[in-house]
Structure 1
Amino acid sequence: MDENAAQAPTGASGLAPPAIVVMGVAGCGKSAVGIALATALDAVFIEGDRLHPPENVARMARGEPLTDQLREGWLDAIGEQIQASIGKRQGVVAACSALKRGYRERLRGFCPDIVFLYLEIDPATARRRVGNRKGHFMPASLVDSQFAILEPPGQDERALTLDATRPVDELVAQAMRLIRPS
């Protein structure tokens, strides 16, 4: 993606607040990068995992992948929070897997100018990271199901792909250069 495509839209009052979704499979670092990026942008952070309904959390904890239908309400809850922040002229960064183009389109229905920050990672590294997490409902056994449905952002999408194995501060710096170029 070129630098101009990743810029936040501008209006009469200057740069609009950014709306960014940090996306990718479990274990890619969405939350860590999202929190750090939100801090750097002085933006609201939305932890998508906290918006899953209890039924979805229970399914995943049992090792059952979610269907597209089960994800709809969750994606809408994230989209509504993004929309509310933008409506208040607050920048917002959300952590959400957004694995399929259709999921990203659903989120864009709430805010057409979302920029997706895709943290690309290989399956072995993702499984290892998820397996090492403590106290999270998502088991490492579901990582392969996420890769099975993953549709990386296309060239026609407002998205930036970064190597998720890089340090968080480096990923945030890369994102900042493209989101808010000087």
Structure 2
Amino acid sequence: MVFLLLQRRACCLHKNKCIQCCYSSLQDRLPWLLQLHEVIQRERCSGSDALVTCSALKRHYRWIMLHGAKALDQDILPPIAPDVFFLFLQGDYSLIHQRVASRRGHYMKADLLHSQFDILEPPLEEDNVLTLDISRSITDVAIEVEKHIIKFKPSPAMP
């Protein structure tokens, strides 16, 4: 399996807003979310495996990533195919705070973490979400993700 890691050039479109604790609105994020939707659709159509990384803290953000602009006008959207799923990295505040505080050279400082928890809409009742306990080892988490991918990946056609 080949994974393409697509990362945002900066964690948010308005990096200075994040640094100043002035978080982006949906209007600020919308172009980026629509761009992620296009990337996801392009990768699905190509048959490639891809890993797109971003926070997607709100359900509406995740819906836009899955359904594009249609998510702006509809309350109920059709389910997305299981070949697109979210990894919800779940951990308690103190563990995540410790990890964020130990990072060097990253614009998001530990004092901004509380606001991230405040706006988080956990995807616990959403389809296509694999919840991962980040207190486990990286190896264990990676194995769980791999098993999930294999479970939903179509088998190659038999000759």
TM-score norm. by structure 2 comes to 0.77
Q: Residue 159 in 1 paired to residue 129 in 2?
A: yes
Instruction: Report whether the alignment pairs 1:99 with 2:38.
Output: no
Question: Match for 1:83: what amino acid?
Answer: Q
2:151 is paired with a residue of what secondary structure? coil
Going from structure 1 to structure 2, the CA distance change for 1:119 and 1:66 (only over 3 Å counts) comes to: same
Q: Does 1:42 align with 2:2?
A: yes
Q: Which of the two has higher C-alpha Rg?
A: 2
**CA shift digits 1:108-164 (9 cap, x unpaired):** 115933211101011122222112111111121211111111111133421111101
Shift of 1:51: 6.5
Q: Distance in 2 between matches of 1:160 and 1:92?
A: 16
Number of equivalent positions:
140
Matched AA of 2:133: D
Q: Show the 5 A alignment for 1:166-181.
A: 166-181=136-151
Once the 2 structures are TM-superposed, how far is the Cα of residue 49 of structure 1 from its aligned partner?
5.4
- Deviation digits for residues 19-41 of structure 1 (CA, Å, limit 9, x no counterpart): xxxxxxxxxxxxxxxxxxxxxx3
**What is the root-mean-square deviation of aligned Cα atoms in Å?**
2.2
Q: Which residue is 2:12 aligned to?
A: 52
Displacement after TM superposition at 1:100 (Å): 1.1
Larger relative contact order (CA 8 Å, sep ≥ 6): 1
Is the 8 Å Cα contact of residues 120 and 161 (structure 1) preserved in structure 2? yes
1:95 Cα deviation (Å)? 1.1
The residue type equivalent to 2:41 in the other structure is Q
Instruction: Give the alignment of 1:61-100 within 5 angstroms.
Output: 61-100=19-58
Q: Deviations over 1:45-67 (max 9, x none)?
A: 111354733xx111112232222
Partner of 2:86: 116
Report deviation, 1:87.
Answer: 2.6
Q: State TM-score, norm by structure 1.
A: 0.68
Map Cα deviations across residues 79-127 of structure 1 (whole Å, 9 max, x no partner): 2222222232211111111111111100111593321110101112222
Runs of 4 or more off by more than 4 Å in structure 1? none
* Distance in structure 1 (CA, Å) of the matches to 2:110 and 2:62: 24
Identity %: 29
| Alignment partners' CA distance in 2, 1:141 and 1:68 | 22
